[in-house]
Structure 1
Amino acid sequence: MATRDAIALAGGPSYAVELGRLDGLSSTASSIDGMFPSPFFNLDQLTQLFAGNGLLQTDMIALSAGHTVGFAHCNTFASRIRGSSVDPTMSPRYVAQLQRSCPPNVDPRIAVAMDPVTPRAFDNQYFKNLQNGMGLLGSDQVLYSDPRSRPIVDSWAQSSVAFNQAFVTAMTKLGRVGVKTGSQGNIRRNCAVLN
C-alpha cells in the first residue's frame, strides 16, 4: 500500500491493492538473486525475466515506467556515457549532462534523477524521455530503440490515460506473483521480524 500511496502522491494513478497476502517464512538477500532486471538487460532478457513471473512484455514496459521517479547511482549507467563507448541511442546533450554529474572516479554514493524533466512526478514523461534518447539505464532506452517495443512507448508517450490504465493492470498482476498460501507463509506480528 505504501507504493500505491507514494505513486498517487506523486500524481500517478491510485488503485486498489489486493489484501490478504501471507508473509514469507524466511528472508534472505540470496533468495532474490536473478529476480530483478539488470540495468544492462536487452529487450529479450527483460521480456524473459518478466514472463517467468507470468507478466507480459506490455506489463514489463508499464512497470519500467516506475523509473519516472527515483534515482540511479552513476555506476549503473557510466558505461553508456564514457569515451568511445558512448551509447549512440542517447541524446548527446543528455550524455554531456550526465558526464558533468558523474565524472570519472565520482563518489559511488552519487546518484542522479532517473527522469531529468519531471523527477518528482509519476507521469508518462518517462516515455517522452525515451523518445528523446534520455533513458538513463540501458534497460530503459532499449524499450524505444528496439522496434518491437517502440509502438507501446510511442502510444503511452501520447496518452497518460492509456499508460495509467496499463500501469494499474501491471501492478495488480505483479501483486499476484509468488502469493503464499497455507503453511507456505504466515502473518507477521511485527513486519520487521520473522515470527
Structure 2
Amino acid sequence: MWGNKLWGLGTGTPMLEDVDEGGIRPWHLVKPSEEPEPPRPRRGSLRGGERERAKAIPEIYLTRLLSMKGTLQKFVDDLFQVILSTSRPVPLAVKYFFDLLDEQAQQHGISDQDTIHIWKTNSLPLRFWINIIKNPQFVFDVQTSDNMDAVLLVIAQTFMDACTLADHKLGRVSRLGWIQQEGDGGMGGMGWG
C-alpha cells in the first residue's frame, strides 16, 4: 500500500481505500470525483463519469478512436460502395418514385434542379439509408452500445453531408471537425468524409 492506493491481487487496476466503509473501490485511469453527481438527463453518447474521463485523458481516447477507425474503415467503405454503386440497375421502385418526383416538379412548374435534388435526397438517402445506418437493429438482430451508437452517428452524418449540395466548412465546432482534425490530419482524419 502506497498512500491511499492499493493494488488488487492479480490485477493491474488501481484501488482506492473507502475510508467510510472500510472497503476498497476500483477506479480506472482517473480517480472519479469525490462528490457524487446528481443524475442528469442523458445527452449524447457519454454519461457523466465517462465524459469526465474523456476530458481527463484525451490521448487515450484519440488512440482508441484511431484504432477503431482502422478496424471499421473497410466495412464503412463497403457500405458506401453498396449504397452508392452504379454497377447494378436502380431498383424499379426507386426509379418509379424518382420519376414521380420529376413528373410532380414538371406538373407544378418547379424547374429548380436543387429543389428536385433535395426531394430525392430527403426521400431515399436521408429517410431510408440514414435510418438503417443509425438503427441497425431495424434490419439485423443486434443490440448497439452507446459507443457503437456514436460511431454509427458519425458514419450517418458523413453520409448526410455527402448528399447535400452545400460546401462544408470543417472546424473545431463542427460535428465531424474534431475527429478529422485530431485524426490523420486535415480532411482525411476519419477517412469517411
Query: Considering the TM-score relative to the shorter chain, is it more than 0.5?
Result: no
Instruction: Specify which structure has the bigger relative contact order, considering alpha-carbon pairs within 8 angstroms and separated by 6 or more residues.
Output: 1
Taking structure 2 as the reference length, the TM-score comes to 0.28
TM-score (norm 1): 0.28
* Higher Rg of the two aligned structures: 2
Judging by fraction of residues, say which structure has more helix. Answer: 2
